[in-house]
Amino acid sequence: MSEQAVAAAVVRNDAQHRYEVWYGNSLAGFSEYRERDDEDTVFIHTEVDGEYSGKGLGNLLAQEAVKDVIARGRAIVPRCPFIKSWLDKNPEYDEHVVGKGIKR
């Protein structure tokens, strides 16, 4: 199978409180979260296996996780350095981030 033919997908795994990025049939990485109250999703840890580095999977994981949190009407609390850094580079999501567009 050629490199271009491998599909990547992000899924929310509620049972393990994480978003997972899959590369083909392999779990390539994840971003752990905790949900507080009825409004906040706190990202606490993200990692992508080194075997999959350079494929843009971390970016895909962050983007799809953030979009899903927003679609569910929740605010984002980025405690994870990777998610925080990704959000800093993507200010179009600021209005959904506690400490940026959401002041408490």
Q: Are 96 and 69 in contact (CB under 8 A)?
A: yes
Per-residue H/E/C for 6-29? CCEEEEEEHHHCEEEEEECCEEEE
pTM (predicted TM-score): 0.92
pLDDT of residue 37: 87
d(CA 77, CA 74): 10
Q: In terms of DSSP bridges, do strands 26-36 and 18-23 run parallel, antiparallel, or are they unpaired?
A: antiparallel
Tokens 């990704």: give the residue: 86
Write out the chain's pLDDT in tens, 104 residues.
445 568 999 999 999 999 999 999 999 999 999 999 889 999 999 999 999 999 999 999 999 999 999 999 999 999 999 999 999 999 999 999 999 999 88
Contacts of 50 (CB under 8 A, 6+ apart): none
- pLDDT of amino acid 1: 41
SS3 83: helix
